[in-house]
Structure 1
Amino acid sequence: MIKKIYLTVLICCWYGLSLQAQYAYFGSRGTISFDKVTYTKARLRQLSNEMNSKGMDRDGGIMDYLDKMPDSHTEKLKFYFDENSTVLMPEENVGSEKQSNAIKMTAPKATSANGRGGRFQGAARSGPTPRGQFRGGAKNGKVLYQDLKAGTAAIQLDIDEKYILSETLDSITWRFTEEYRNIAGVNCRRVNGATKDSLYLIAYYSEEIPVSAGPALSHGLPGMIIGLVIPEMHIQYWATAIEYTNKLVPSDWRDKKSKKMELNEFSEIFGRYMPRNRQNESAKKRILEQLVY
């Protein structure tokens, strides 16, 4: 009799665990805290090498900044997601002054514009003076929005006035690997990707969050991207915490006074203040990449 009771209890426990695994909760709404790590010295060194190869920094002025800057700086970001949309924005008042100073150190006067790979450090204004700096959108930085249902994106940023730049979500070609790791408490799979402009990406996604999205307008995988590396730009995004909620993505990130413009149109205006030898399609693509990543 005791054996029968013991066996019945074991069966019930096994059946209960099976049901729990079968109907495990995969949250499709919540927030993810990201660390965006930018390797400033590597970016500046890469910029200097490019300019030297083109005879644009013969006195080596850029290299004088290397000893004055940290190896990297980290920006705290908050990523809101639901089934249909996402918003990525800086956390409010988290080391913003320190990060701003680190960014300014990477922008010597002679380098208001440079190539891909995070090598555009300064920012030209759309107004008369072409040496303005991006001050971002809401909450001390730029805001990236994805409409996953419509396949569109918007970028809000502040130069001399605020802009909301609209764009379609371009497809990314992904190749799956058999490498796995745990990030922020969830299991992830590595994939290698390339944009239509051949920018190489490394992403770690998790099907435990069934939303096809990620930071920096990344998307196109069967789950959430919670780790993203852009080697050429010396930038990495890593999730540090995930919180599930029942709330939709907030809509109050938009500034009603922002000037609406297409992303390509903004790139055309911005490119007018670049050196003549840089006014080409390749340079415009690099501007777009800098705005996104």
Structure 2
Amino acid sequence: MKKTTITFSLLLFFTGIYAQNVRFITDGVIEFEKKINMYVVLKQRINKDNEFYMQQAYDQYKKNQPQFKTQASTLAFSKDKSLFSPLPEVQKNANEFWDGDPNSTQNNIIFSDFSSGSFITQKKVFEETFLVNDTLRKINWKLTSETREIAGYECRRANAIMMDSIYVVAFYTDKIPVSGGPESFTGLPGMILGVALPHENISWFATSVKDRPVNAAELKAPAKGKVLNTKGLYDILNGIVKDWGSYARTILKALTI
């Protein structure tokens, strides 16, 4: 009985020490890696109306390019703000048939203000640049008990349906108590370190988390582009792709995620 009491006391002691040493981060920079399964994404573009030239382009792509296209980005954050910024591609083939396709490029620089519940996105749409101001997207997350380690942090899984049809799997950590994430993925009780869109064949996962102070310049909202709100952007995009057939839905998804 005496041994049991001593063991229990020691367990409580060391648990208390561990709890006191757990660090919760509220400022830092996260590096993300985006992966796109280009073979599947491009294969889905081929239909009976375009297969004569699209099949050739697809076969050429498979011959010369890897299955997964990888892109890097950073997320600078404080306790109430974040700035998501794509990094330039290290290797880029300017003559590639698919170059510039919104599904294979990073189109957004996103400033999020969690205290006001708003965002500012600088969005590149082909040759035009827009500055979208609106409220943060509301995602109805469902938390699960599944966990996964990402960039050294234990993360909990959450699922959601976004934009009526896009299935989203996200992993967040409560050790970074900031309700942010890559791109426009927010709204969980901790920082999102991993996102997968299984049916869209795209994912974003953190590769490193740097715990350091972030200055005002690193959280400066973008200011370039034609100013509008989310509905205004959607109306413009609909006008651009209205005659693009089945390809229109794919482009709209890519530019509004």
TM-score by length of 1: 0.71
Q: Determine the C-alpha separation between the residues in 2 that align with 1:292 and 1:258.
A: 16
Aligned residue number for residue 52 of structure 2: 59
Letter in 2 for 1:166: N
Letter in 2 for 1:218: F
Letter in 2 for 1:259: K
Aligned residue number for residue 79 of structure 1: 75
Aligned residue number for residue 181 of structure 2: 214
| 2:150 equivalent to 1:152 | no
Q: What value does the CA root-mean-square deviation take over the aligned residues?
A: 3.2
| 2:98 equivalent to 1:106 | yes
- Are the aligned partners of 1:267 and 1:287 in contact in 2 as well (CA < 8 Å)? no
Q: Determine the C-alpha separation between the residues in 2 that align with 1:268 and 1:205.
A: 33
Q: Determine the C-alpha separation between the residues in 2 that align with 1:103 and 1:26.
A: 46
Q: Determine the C-alpha separation between the residues in 1 that align with 2:151 and 2:219.
A: 26
- Are the aligned partners of 2:108 and 2:183 in contact in 1 as well (CA < 8 Å)? no
Unaligned runs of 5+ in 2: 1-5
Q: CA 1:17–1:174 in 2, change beyond 3 Å: closer, same or farther?
A: closer
4+ runs of 1 displaced by more than 4 Å? 11-17
Letter in 1 for 2:36: T
Q: CA 1:274–1:264 in 2, change beyond 3 Å: closer, same or farther?
A: same
Q: Determine the C-alpha separation between the residues in 1 that align with 2:252 and 2:81.
A: 21
Q: Relative to structure 2, which stretch is displaced further, 260-269 or 25-34? A: 260-269
Q: Which of 127, 149, 161 does residue 194 from structure 1 map onto?
A: 161
- Are the aligned partners of 1:144 and 1:217 in contact in 2 as well (CA < 8 Å)? yes
Q: Determine the C-alpha separation between the residues in 2 that align with 1:253 and 1:193.
A: 28
Aligned residue number for residue 237 of structure 1: 204
- The structure with the greater share of residues assigned to strand is 2
1:278 Cα deviation after fit: 4.3
1:202 Cα deviation after fit: 0.7
Q: Determine the C-alpha separation between the residues in 2 that align with 1:175 and 1:103.
A: 43
- Are the aligned partners of 2:35 and 2:204 in contact in 1 as well (CA < 8 Å)? yes
When Rg is computed on C-alpha atoms for both structures, the one with the higher figure is 1
Task: Name the SS for the 1:47 alignment partner.
Answer: coil
Cα deviations by residue, 1:174-219 (Å, 9 ceiling, x for unpaired): 2222221211111111122111423101111111111111112111
Q: CA 1:160–1:57 in 2, change beyond 3 Å: closer, same or farther?
A: closer
1:42 Cα deviation after fit: 1.3
Q: CA 1:102–1:37 in 2, change beyond 3 Å: closer, same or farther?
A: farther
| 2:251 equivalent to 1:290 | no
Unaligned runs of 5+ in 1: 1-6, 113-119, 123-133
Letter in 2 for 1:268: D
- Are the aligned partners of 1:41 and 1:69 in contact in 2 as well (CA < 8 Å)? no
